[in-house]
Amino acid sequence: MNSPATESPFEALGLSAALQRAAAEQGYDQPTPIQAAAIPPALRGADVIGCAHTGSGKTAAFGLALLQRLERQATGAPVRATRRRTQALVLVPTRELAVQVGDTLRRLGRHLTQPLKVAVIFGGVALNPQMLALRGGAEVVVATPGRLLDLAGRNAITLDGVDVLVLDEADRLLDEGFADELARLTALLPVRRQSLFFSATFPPAVQDLAQALLREPVRVDAPDAPRAAAPETASPSAIAGVPAIDQRAVEVDAAQRTPLLRHLIEKAAWPRVLVFVATRYASEHVAEKLRRAGLAAAAFHGDLSQGARQRVLAELNSGKLRIMLATDMAARGLHIPGLPVVVNYDLPRSAVDYTHRIGRTARAGAAGLAVSFVSAATEAHFRLIEKRQGQRVPRERIAGFQPRELAVPASPPEGGIKGRRKSRKDKLREAAAAGGPSTG
Ligand code: AMP
């Protein structure tokens, strides 16, 4: 074709032909805001700290940058002759995210002249296959911290040749108590390296980590982010690139939530729904009730084996499964392409968790819907979430499911729901609500 030589948007960011081609094959026409902001400084070799929500395209933002760096460094020497040196390390908080990031990197790297090996490492599965996979080395390693330390301790991997370190979902990594493991891992890395951090929020722990690990970082936010709060006051409003999510709040008694859920799914003909519940028990219990009502529903939580979790996800992705009842384990990092609806059957603990949960829908620019069930007992908690989000969601009632319970006074119930962590009373209350005979 004789089309005029126009620079593609990814070429304009400085990406190589092989990476432009891979991006085009993924259907990326235009860089997302976080990609446009993060890729150029990363390609210059700067440390980058990015405020990026899952769904903003951050995986490709750091992925394209690190692949290009590795492509530039490739010597052309046949790699089989020597052990592959681990040059890029991506740390993530969960196995699911590790698998997803690994897949994305493989797809984006597929046209590089010197193919790169991407190893994915996570705990909860047998060690041996991962040790075997690391034989001969891998240029790119995507890992959860604990298992990686384990493998490093067994000399299955050496990290002293790492040029680029990526921390994906840094807030979550710290939230999950990985701080100690992160410190031990970074001690194994060369001091001279490039570091790229991505986090949806910037709580003090992330700021401390960034201070300790980054050198004069360039801070990038997706330009269309709601005006960011100062780091000290980071709140979900500091989240970058949150796409359009229609938020609804339906008032309903706890006992009526399962019938209401069924009603909404059937009436609105939602093809696929991710429903968040507070406990593993509730996820099994509600899934069972829905199955008995003839709906394709399954539980998703940390007690399931890795294989079972992958199966449930694959079935939801393929449309075989219509409803996934998940604990907060699924709130972050999971990518469910085209997921139209998220339901908060139980409210999340914090406003940050709320943002992560509803961010499972409306990814990559698509519109999404998030419905929260609010009862008399949880109204005060939801108000707190709204306040921290800086957004009010009008309450609705649905004919046939109007609440009968009396609303509690405006102040939060005693002992409850003031801070980020649940009190024991809250947990008991939730367990009672989830496990009571009234769950639907
Ligand atoms: P992430 O924030 O990395 O979880 O990415 C969310 C989704 O956005 C993934 O399905 C990506 O394939 C998709 N995505 C990433 N970059 C682009 C882009 N430039 N254009 C369209 N979709 C994209």
Tokens (6 digits) for 324:
């996934």
* Span 108-137, pLDDT tens digits: 999 998 889 999 999 989 999 999 989 999
- Give the residue-averaged pLDDT of 203-215: 85
Weakest mean pLDDT among 36-50, 97-111, 358-372: 358-372
List strand residue ranges (DSSP E) for 191-326, in order. 194-199, 218-221, 245-251, 273-276, 297-300, 323-326
The pLDDT of residue 71 is above 50: yes
- Judged against a pLDDT cut of 70, whether residue 432 lies above it is answered with no
Query: Which residue's CA lies nearest to atom 11 of ligand 1?
Result: 57
Task: Report all structural domains of the chain as residue ranges with CATH numbers, in order of start.
Answer: 9-226+423-435 (3.40.50.300), 236-396 (3.40.50.300)
The most confident of 156-160, 268-272, 302-306, by mean pLDDT: 156-160
Q: What is the pLDDT of residue 6?
A: 65
Ligand 1, residue 101: give the atom nearest the CA: 3
DSSP-based three-state secondary structure for 136: coil
Give the tens place of pLDDT for each residue, 269-295.
888 999 999 999 999 999 999 999 999
pLDDT for residue 420: 43
Residue to substitute in 11, 21, 59, 239 for testing ligand 1 pocket (most ligand atoms within 8 angstroms of CB):
59
Is 127 in contact with 143 (CB distance < 8 Å)?
Answer: no
Q: How far apart are the first and last CA of the chain?
A: 62
- Which residues sit with their C-beta closer than 6 Å to ligand 1? 26, 28, 30-32, 35, 54-60, 335, 337, 363-364
Pick the atom of ligand 1 nearest to 31's CA: 19
HSE at residue 312, side-chain half, CA atoms within 13 A, is 25
Atom of ligand 1 nearest to the CA of 26: 12
pLDDT at 107: 95
Q: Give the up-direction half-sphere exposure of residue 89: CA atoms within 13 A in the CB hemisphere.
A: 28
Contacts of 56 (CB under 8 A, 6+ apart): 32, 33, 34, 222, 240, 241, 242
User: Which residue out of 8, 13, 15, 32 has the highest number of ligand 1 atoms within 8 Å of its CB and is therefore the one to mutate?
Assistant: 32
Report how far ligand 1's centroid is from the alpha carbon of 27 (Å).
Answer: 9
β-pairing verdict for 140-143 and 341-344: unpaired
Measuring CA to CA, which residue among 357, 351, 353 is closest to residue 339? 357
Which residue is listed with tokens 């797809």?
A: 107
**Whole-number Å distance between alpha carbons of 397 and 392:** 16
pLDDT at 178 (0 to 100): 86
